[in-house]
Amino acid sequence: MATQSTPQRVEHQLTDKGYVPVYTTAVVEQPWASYSSQDHAVWAQLFERQQQVLVGRASDEFLAAQRAMHMSPDRIPKFDDLNRVLRAHTGWELVGVEGLLPELTFFDHLANRRFPVTWWIRRADQIDYLSEPDLFHDLFGHVPLLMNPVFADYMQAYGRGGVKAHGINPEALVHLTRLYWYTVEFGLIRQADGLRIYGSGIVSSKSESIHCLESNAPNRIGFDLERIMRTRYRIDTFQKTYFVIDSFEQLMQATTPDFTPIYERLARQDSIPAGEVLPDDRVFNRGTGEGWLADGDV
């Protein structure tokens, strides 16, 4: 009987966020044969639950991409099977990793159309909350949209931008990471029939899939590149603000220009607290702020 899959943590490193696990940057084969029956059961339970929550909440593009991937709901998919489909559609491929990677390693993967997917899945007692990306977050949350040609291009361009920003200065990376956070992880998109989810951090969370669209607590504000790059975010609670794009084409066009002058301009401006609404914001919802914690913005 295979044991519960556990990540091979290399060590813990003391950072400004306290002790964080540091993983090897190595690409690892997916140990598919060693997944336990509990691992597959956790996948099936999360997949089934999220499928139900996302009807009427996930964007049309996300649902179409997910259908095209033919991911099995009842056991952990094989990276090799998904790679055959993904490569044929947009040239992307999944690579197995132990967990969070150093930023430059992460960006370099994206720049080469490789998406790093954590090989282990959370335990049954972590179903509702996990502090770091596991296989379910990466595979169910991030992988489907890599089937969408425009979003696939955006993700590669983002990776190239990350490598570039890493060579500029740490502040540029902070500004760029916020863009990732408020689009790839927690982005909303406007459809004719209402706001919908495309961010991976949301689609892999039952509670946030409901909260982000239906609670009055958070702000919902129209996409504005530099506004987003100035805005701090939360890593331990629901987002205080969600940003809304009109289309992936809008996202692609907004991020095509050279960011170098943008980083220079942003360096002279203050960051914006996660829950703030500015006079020029295109406000879809002005949040009540109910349940917000006072501090903790990153």
Ligand X SMILES: N[C@@H](Cc1ccccc1)C(=O)O
SS3 content of the chain, % helix, strand, coil (to 5): 45, 15, 40
Task: Yes or no: say if 277 and 283 are a contact pair by the CB < 8 Å rule.
Answer: yes
Q: Minimal distance in Å, beta carbon 100 to ligand H4B?
A: 4
Count residues near Fe ion (CB under 5 A).
2
Q: Is 100 in the site for ligand H4B (CB under 6 A)?
A: yes
Binding ligand X by CB under 6 A: which of 43, 158, 198, 238? 158
> Helix, strand, or coil here: 28?
strand
Q: Minimal distance in Å, beta carbon 134 to ligand H4B?
A: 10
Residues 138, 175, 203: CA angle, nearest 5 degrees: 25
Q: Is 20 in the site for ligand H4B (CB under 6 A)?
A: no
Q: Minimal distance in Å, beta carbon 241 to ligand H4B?
A: 18
Q: Minimal distance in Å, beta carbon 259 to ligand X?
A: 3
Q: Which is nearer to ligand X, 258 or 290 (CB)?
A: 258
Q: Is 97 in the site for ligand H4B (CB under 6 A)?
A: yes
In 10 A of CB 126, how many CB atoms?
13
* Token representation of residue 19: 């002790």
> Under 8 Å CB-to-CB from 10, ≥6 apart: which residues?
21, 22, 23, 24, 98
Cα separation, 49 vs 215, in Å, equals 20
User: Identity (one letter) of the amino acid at 107?
Assistant: F
Q: Minimal distance in Å, beta carbon 141 to Fe ion?
A: 6
Contacts to ligand H4B by CB under 6 A:
97, 100-101, 103, 106, 116, 133, 177, 180
Contacts to ligand X by CB under 6 A:
154, 157-158, 161, 164, 179, 255-259
Contacts to Fe ion by CB under 5 A:
133, 200
